[in-house]
Structure 1
Amino acid sequence: MTSSRASGGLARFNALEEGAARAVLHEVCASRAWAERLLAARPYAGADDLYAESDAATAGLTTADLTEAMAGHPPIGRPKPGDPTSSREQRGMAGASAELREEMLALNLAYQERFGHVFLICATGLTGEQMRDAVRERIGNSAEREREIVRVELGKINRIRLGGLVRDGSSGAEGG
C-alpha cells in the first residue's frame, strides 16, 4: 500500500508531460526501452504498479538494452563528478583505504575487460569490502550468468530510484 506522500510523488510523475517524464525516467535508468515501456503504462494507480512494470521492463531488456542501461552507471569507486545520486549510491567506498580503492580500480578494469561493461551492483548499504568481494566472486562467471546477475542488480537499483520518485518526485534516491 502506498502512503499519501508516495501518492503525491506518483501523481506528479503521472501528470508530467511525456518529454519531462521521459527525462525523469532516464535519470532512473539509461535504457530507452525500459523508459518507453514505463511511459506507455502511465498513469499508475499505485507504487506497486510502477514497480511491477519496472520489473517486467527490466526482465525484458535485450543485451543491447542492458548495455545501454549499464552505460549510465559509473564504475564503483568513481562516482560521476557533481552527481549527488552517484555519490550517495557509492558511499560505501567513501571511507575506503587507498589500498582498497586501488584494488577496486584494478578489479573494475579486469571485470570490464572480461565482460565489456562496468561492474554493476546495487551498492546501497554495502561496504567497500563487500563490493570488492562481489566483484572478485563475479569475475569468474560466464558472460550469460553475469548478464543475468546484472539484470537483477539493475532491477534493484531501478526500484530504489523509483522509490525516490514515488516518495518525493525526485529520482535521486539511493541505488547503484
Structure 2
Amino acid sequence: MTSSTTPGLSRFNASEEPAATAALHEVCSSPAWGSKILAQRPYASAALLLAASDAAMAELTPADLEEAMAGHPPIGRPKPGDPTSAREQRGMAGASEELKAELLELNLAYQEKFGHVFLICATGATAEFMLDRIRTRIENGPEQEREIVRTELGKINRIRLTRLVEEPAEAQEAQEAAEEGSKA
C-alpha cells in the first residue's frame, strides 16, 4: 500500500455520497462502520483510510457487529454470483467432500452456539486451516469470540478497501456491470 493517493482513492474521495455509501456497503454491511468512514473523507492516503477503518471497527457495538456479519455467507457456501465471496473463499475450491461436510456440520453448530455465521478472513486460507480454526473457536466463550470476529472483520475490511482504492477504474466498472447483469 503506497502512502500517496491512488487513482482509486481519488475516485472514492470524489464519489457522490450514495455511490461511496454503496461501495462501502460492499466492503462491510455495517451502516455504522460506513458512516464513520464517509464522515472522514477525503483521505490523503490509503493508509489513512485503513487506519480509519480499524478505528471504526473498534467502535462497533455488538449490534453493529451483527449487521457486519450478516453480509457474509458461511464458509464453504459463497453467495452465488458474488465474485467477492467466491474470490475470498477460493481456498475451499479443492476441499474434499468429507472436509466440506465436516465444515458444514461445524458451521451449523457454531451458528447455533453463537447466533451468527463463523467468520474468518478466508483470503489466502486453505480449507484445512479454516476447518482447524472453527474447531478451535467453537470452544470459545461469546465475549472472546465476538472480539475474534471483530479482528477478522477488520482484516476482511482492509483487504476489500485496499482492492477498492487500488483497482483500476476499468476493472471496477466491469465488476459493477457484471453485478448489475447478475441482478437482472
2:56 — aligned with what? Answer: 57
1:118 — aligned with what? Answer: 117
Give the letter aligned to residue 112 of structure 1. Q
Q: C-alpha distance in 2, partners of 1:139/1:60?
A: 24
How does 1:69-148 map onto structure 2 within 5 Å?
69-148=68-147
Give the 4+ runs in structure 1 shifted more than 3 A. none
Task: Give the C-alpha shift of residue 7 in structure 1.
Answer: 1.2
Task: Give the C-alpha shift of residue 3 in structure 1.
Answer: 6.5
Q: Secondary structure at the match of 1:43?
A: coil
Q: C-alpha distance in 1, partners of 2:23/2:57?
A: 17
Q: Secondary structure at the match of 1:79?
A: coil
Q: C-alpha distance in 2, partners of 1:77/1:100?
A: 10
RMSD of aligned residue pairs (Cα, Å): 1.3
Task: Give the C-alpha shift of residue 2 in structure 1.
Answer: 2.0
TM-score (norm 1): 0.93
Give the letter aligned to residue 117 of structure 2. V
2:33 — aligned with what? Answer: 34
Q: Which runs of 5+ in 2 are unaligned?
A: 176-184
Contact persistence 2:3–2:46 (CA under 8 A) = no
2:182 — aligned with what? Answer: none
Query: Sequence identity, in percent?
Result: 71
Give the letter aligned to residue 106 of structure 2. L
1:2 — aligned with what? Answer: 2
The Cα offsets for residues 11-61 of structure 1, whole Å up to 9 and x where unpaired, read as: 000000001100000000000000000000000000011000000000000
Equivalent residues, number? 170
